[in-house]
A = this chain, B = another copy of it.
C-alpha cells in the first residue's frame, strides 16, 4: 500500500494552464504507478477558478471544502462540500470558487493516461 498525506504533496501553480489562484497536487498518478485514474487535490483561493475548457475525457470531482460555482453548457450550478460532480468527456466546464475570500478544496480525478 501507499499512504500519502495529500497536503504534503508538492503543489503546482495552475496559472500556465489558464487557471487563476489555483494549485494542483498530483497525489496518485503515473509516478505512483496508479493503474487507471489519477487522483489530484485542487486548491482554489477566494476569487479563483480553473480553466473554462473541454477535453476528450471526463472529470470526477468531489468538493472537500468551500462553495463552488460549476460552469457547464447549461450555465452555473452550485456545489458545496460533500457534493460530487461528473463532467462527461467533451463537455465544456469550469470550477469557480463562489467566495471572494474563503478557500475551496476539490478532489479531481481523470484517467491516468491524461495526467502529465
Which of B28, B39, B86 contacts A28 (CB under 8 A)?
A: B86
Give chain A's interface secondary structure class.
strand
User: How far apart sit A2 and B79, CA to CA, in the bound complex (Å)?
Assistant: 11
Given known contacts A82-B6, A84-B6, A84-B28, is B34 in contact with A1 (CB within 8 Å)? Answer: no
A60-B86 in contact (CB<8A): no
Given known contacts A28-B60, A60-B28, A62-B107, is B83 in contact with A5 (CB within 8 Å)? Answer: yes
User: How far apart sit A70 and B1, CA to CA, in the bound complex (Å)?
Assistant: 9
Q: Which residues of B contact A36 (CB under 8 A)?
A: 36-37, 57-58, 111
Interface check A87, CB cutoff 8 A: yes
